[in-house]
Structure 1
């Protein structure tokens, strides 16, 4: 079925944003210009522009016009990449701020995640992950001390996975992830520079080496201001 004209125009403008013809931060053509370009009414143009705003591709400035939004960094849940790899690959600047780094005996819950005896010494690390200087993720990570005796704050300010694979010579195989909707507590809202009870995503993961050894249990809180999740489902051909 043929799409309504405003949807056709929205699709054309979306493609121009995605292929870089309309760059992030660029001001969109005026309604009058778009009317002339596509030979349609002002109502049709306004409906097309609303589609782009609703799809988080544009933002409006009162008295000025509509501007192209910078794309969010995407988290592909099916491709195991570190935060720095993932964000850098999308042309943004990642950074990390370690806000807690200590060792302690592990609780029953964490021991069960890492296949350890309760009370085994683990690292408890909290990092604030930033994209272009803005806080986006609070990461709470638990690692067995015996596996990473030389782990340091300096390492955690860079890439944890690079340290594990390049420095320790371990091969990471997979991560099992569970995702829940959540909202910011008072302390988390302060970390994210946002309001309490703002919707966020909580992602828990257990990562394993190629021999099946779990080496990391992590709880990530995603602000979703500069980050989006991508899930790709492949249909299996019926037999």
Structure 2
């Protein structure tokens, strides 16, 4: 809640944000125009514009040229500097993470997976394909492959619709992720991804790959994910290198 001494536009923005949090305004709802808002609240159009722009800059509202301003989909912050599982990271943000398991079973590693996990071509892995949900909404398609020799019997101990993979690896196999190499690139959704994540045709997405290693530097996990481009903000903490100059 904003302070009584905050600028008028900030107080209006806080009130709108509170209405969204309370469910009085839902994702996709259209807000009044600047003119209508100014007349209803007895403020200037400039103040109304500032309030809307403040929430738009934070991703709470979205503006569609020629159509108006709408309540946006809540943005999920994904930290690139912290190695944690999807479930843990989402729940730390006060939201509910769940999954729909599309596939889980024993497989032979393909070329990319074999190289990533230091396996011979066709080496044994467990492949887990999940649609990731946040507060019941599909936000990502994730394919995870685990070296079979690291987690024997994984098929028998896991409930991946509700449990964290990292928690299972930690509790049953004493495998702890210690480091990872991760890449991220922008792309357009394929027809299959568009259907799964409820996106428009050729919508913007983020493609992420990660190779995860244990404390001894041995790779045990290879992940290929596709995230909704309108749902995630990727955050990295940077420090100035010792030899850096400006």
Q: Same fold (TM over 0.5)?
A: yes
Residue 231 of structure 1 and its aligned partner are, at CA, apart by 2.0
TM-score with structure 1 setting the length: 0.79
Q: How do 1:73-222 and structure 2 match up within 5 A?
A: 73-152=76-155, 154-157=158-161, 158-222=163-227
Q: What's the secondary structure of 1:99's corresponding residue? A: strand
Deviations 1:175-217 (A, max 9, x none): 2110011111111111111222110000000000000010001
Unaligned runs of at least 5 residues, structure 1: 1-7
Match of 2:38 among 28, 31, 37: 31
Q: 1:169 to 1:186 in 2, by over 3 A?
A: same
Residue 114 of structure 1 and its aligned partner are, at CA, apart by 0.4
- Aligned position for 2:28: none
TM-score with structure 2 setting the length: 0.77
Residue 80 of structure 1 and its aligned partner are, at CA, apart by 1.0
Deviates more, 1:122-131 or 1:203-212: 122-131
Distance in 2 (alpha carbons) for counterparts of 1:31 and 1:119: 65
Q: What's the secondary structure of 1:156's corresponding residue? A: coil
Distance in 2 (alpha carbons) for counterparts of 1:34 and 1:155: 51
Deviations 1:45-82 (A, max 9, x none): 3244234325422368xxxx988767422110101111
Distance in 2 (alpha carbons) for counterparts of 1:70 and 1:128: 18
Distance in 2 (alpha carbons) for counterparts of 1:119 and 1:96: 28
When the two structures are aligned, how many residues end up with a matched partner?
A: 222
Distance in 2 (alpha carbons) for counterparts of 1:111 and 1:70: 37
Is the Cα contact below 8 Å between 1:26 and 1:68 reproduced in 2? no
Q: What's the secondary structure of 1:161's corresponding residue? A: helix
Measured on the aligned residues, the alpha-carbon RMSD in Å equals 3.1
Match of 2:75 among 72, 76, 82: 72
